[in-house]
Amino acid sequence: MAILYVLIDETGLSTVMLFDLLGRKLRELRVNGEGRVHGLLDVSALQTGMYLLIVHNRDATSIGKVVIAR
């Protein structure tokens, strides 16, 4: 099993989304908490390649890339 661990240092609701490079949303996770909160995304079924990770909360949106290599 392959898990993507996401640590969010925010208070309130955050949405974590994983997209392929064609813009298709593959995974979505909503986390709500105080301070440091972690989220887990199962990426076992995804193929080797590059993906975009977007974390959105009430104050900001962060975008990063994720590379899955097997």
Q: pLDDT digits over 44-65, tens only? A: 999 999 999 999 988 899 999 9
| 45 token code pair | 């079924």
pLDDT at position 43: 95
pLDDT at position 28: 96
DSSP the chain: --EEEEEEE-SEEEEEEEE-TTS-EEEEEEEEESSEEEEEEE-TTSPSEEEEEEEEESS-EEEEEEEE--
This prediction has a pTM of 0.89
- Residue ranges and CATH numbers for the domains of the chain are 3-68 (2.60.40.3080)
Tell me the pLDDT of the chain averaged across its residues.
92
Over the stretch 12-54, which tens digit does the pLDDT of each residue have?
899 999 999 999 999 999 998 887 888 899 999 999 999 999 9
